[in-house]
Amino acid sequence: MGNCLWGSNEEVSNPIINNPREFNNFNQPGMMRNNVNGVGGGARVHGPVVGRIIKPDLKIYTFIELKSATRNFRPDSVLSEGGFGRVYKGWIDKTTLAPSKVGVGIPVAIKKCNADSEQQGLKEWKTEVNFLGKFSHPNLVKLIGYCWEDKELLLVYEQLNKGSLENHLFQNKVESLSWTTRINIALDAARGLDFLHTSENTVIYRDFKAASILLDENFGAKLSDFSLARIGPPVDESHVTTQVVGTYGFAAPEYINTGHLYVRSDVYSFGVVLLEILTAFRAYDLNRPTGQTSLVDWSKPMLSEKSKVKKIIDPRMDDYPPEGANKLAQLILRCLQNDPKNRPPMSEVVIILERISTIRMNPKGSKPGSSKTKRPHSYHPSPAQRQNGLGGGSSPRPRPVTK
């Protein structure tokens, strides 16, 4: 998770949620407007009373129903916590999706917005519904339903049992991931991002990081937390200009410096996550020695030399093929190019990762310079870096930069 963040007061682009005052009855049928592709404009909302999503296959829950599903939001059902609020484990019927008893039906993750973060929470809530309620893809977390009553904003997702990639990379209590598992996770995440970039209305994820990658029981990866995503530029333009939001260490330099957001700004962030996967070092860590706070700045010079790549690889991952690791290092360097035009599109990243996934260890079984020695890790969340997400950790809500 990032240590320092940016905040945003910008409006959510192309929300699919209209002003709730247009609806007189929360459960009244036939109240959905036509909205091509779910990206019509929406007015700024003040003091929400009740809302409805222009998407017929999302389940609409009442607040009382979700209280029942979480046993009145009991503390022992909390999966994680962050700037948006808390995420609770709940249970719903597999067929009707109605709330059910604990252990009956299917488990879900229910995100509940903090009452004291209504304005920012509503913006992020609307953005998540806009995108997750619209798309369906094996590598995107599934949004099942929502609740919008008065000031209560909740989202109901599928629950992924293994939590976030961030936890598996940086928590000592979690079993270390093998080379093959890490590459497969990266490949799943790349496919999800490529889908967003090549959709009819290009979507820029904008805050891609390991905390946003959730894992199922087989370590299949899905992207979650679309609260900062936005529609990309028109076909005749290269970028959109917007206030900078995101997480230190992951945001592309052109975005930080100019506010120009390119589709391939996401590719830079993906490269940072690949670097975390390879090294098990955080992208930005104030606990690291002077000169090593930024993982990109510190490791970039070593990625181009095979003899140095092996020195930064997570030593707990002792099953990696040197050829695969070197090719991954080359891909990372391409993703981290300063000029977005020089970064590969995610479609190409997918192809390269597929090739890397086929590279196996030398049959002789040994790697040059391999070692069983475990490197001490000091890259663990501080008390201030609270967990967030759907069963996994992520950064707190973006907040304004203070100098």
pLDDT of residue 174: 82
pLDDT at site 36: 30
pLDDT score recorded for residue 258: 94
Backbone angles phi, psi at 147, to 5 degrees: -140, 130
What tens digit of pLDDT does each residue of 70-104 get? 988 988 888 877 667 788 999 999 999 998 988 88
Residue 63 in contact with residue 148, Cβ under 8 Å?
no
In the prediction, which pLDDT does 89 show? 93
Residues 6+ apart with CB under 8 A from 219: 162, 177, 181, 184, 185
Yes or no: say if 393 and 173 are a contact pair by the CB < 8 Å rule: no
> Using N-to-C axis directions, what is the helix angle for 265-279 and 322-335, rounded to 10°?
150
Note the pLDDT of residue 171: 87
pLDDT, average across residues 147-170: 91
Using pLDDT thresholds of 50, 70 and 90, give the confidence band for residue 299: very high
Check whether 268 has a pLDDT greater than 90. yes
What is the set of active-site residues? Answer: 207
Has residue 248 got a pLDDT over 50? Answer: yes
pLDDT score of 249 = 93
Burial of 206 (0-12, 13-18, 19+ CB in 10 A): buried
**Domains along the chain?**
8-158 (3.30.200.20), 163-357 (1.10.510.10)
Whether the CB-CB separation of 77 and 174 falls below 8 Å is answered with: no
pLDDT-derived band at 117, boundaries 50, 70, 90: low
Residues 6+ apart with CB under 8 A from 39: 14, 16, 130, 134, 201, 231
CA gap 369, 13 in Å, rounded: 50
φ/ψ of 294, rounded to 5, equals: -90, 115
Ranked by mean pLDDT, the top range of 7-16, 28-37, 92-101 is 92-101
Name the residue with tokens 């009145």.
Answer: 72
Residue 185 host element (H or E): helix 179-197
Edge-to-edge strand order for the sheet containing 59-60?
A: 59-60, 143-149, 152-158, 106-113, 85-92, 78-81
Question: Whose CA is closest to 266, among 331, 336, 316?
Answer: 336
Question: Which residue bears the tokens 């709730």?
Answer: 20
The b/e string for 52-85 (b: 16+ C-beta within 10 A; e otherwise) is bbbbeebbebeeebbbbbbbebeeebebbbbbbb
Cβ neighbours for 14, distance < 8 A, ≥ 6 positions apart: 39, 40, 41, 42, 130, 201, 230, 231
**pLDDT > 70: what percent of the chain?**
74
Q: Are strands 106-113 and 246-247 parallel, antiparallel or unpaired?
A: unpaired
The total of other beta-carbon atoms located within 10 Å of residue 316's CB is 18
Residue 13, Cβ neighbours under 10 Å: how many? 18
Q: What is the mean pLDDT of the chain?
A: 78
Tokens of 34: 């036509």
pLDDT greater than 60 at residue 212: yes
- Both structure tokens of 391: 């069963």
For residue 22, give every residue at least 6 positions away whose Cβ sits within 8 Å of its Cβ, in sequence order, or none.
none
Distance CA 226, CA 109 (A): 15
What are the DSSP calls for 289-350, one per residue? PTT-SBHHHHHHHHHT-HHHHHHHS-TT-TT--HHHHHHHHHHHHHHT-SSGGGSPPHHHHH
388 vs 233, higher pLDDT: 233
pTM of the model: 0.77
In the numeric block, which tokens belong to residue 256? 């930080």
Report residue 13's pLDDT band, with 50, 70 and 90 as the boundaries: very low
- Neighbour tally for 258: CB within 10 Å: 11
- Identity of the amino acid at 221: A
| pLDDT for the residue numbered 267 | 98
The residue length of the chain stands at: 403
pLDDT of residue 93: 92
Centre a 10 Å sphere on the Cβ of residue 319 and count the other Cβ atoms it contains: 12
Q: Higher model confidence: residue 134 or residue 97?
A: 97
Look at residue 56 and tell me whether its pLDDT is greater than 80.
no
pLDDT at 140 over 80: yes
Cβ proximity of 194 and 350 under 8 Å: yes
Q: Which residues pair with 113 in a beta bridge?
A: 85
pLDDT at residue 236, as a whole number: 83
Of 224, 298, 249, 33, give the one whose Cα is nearest residue 311.
298
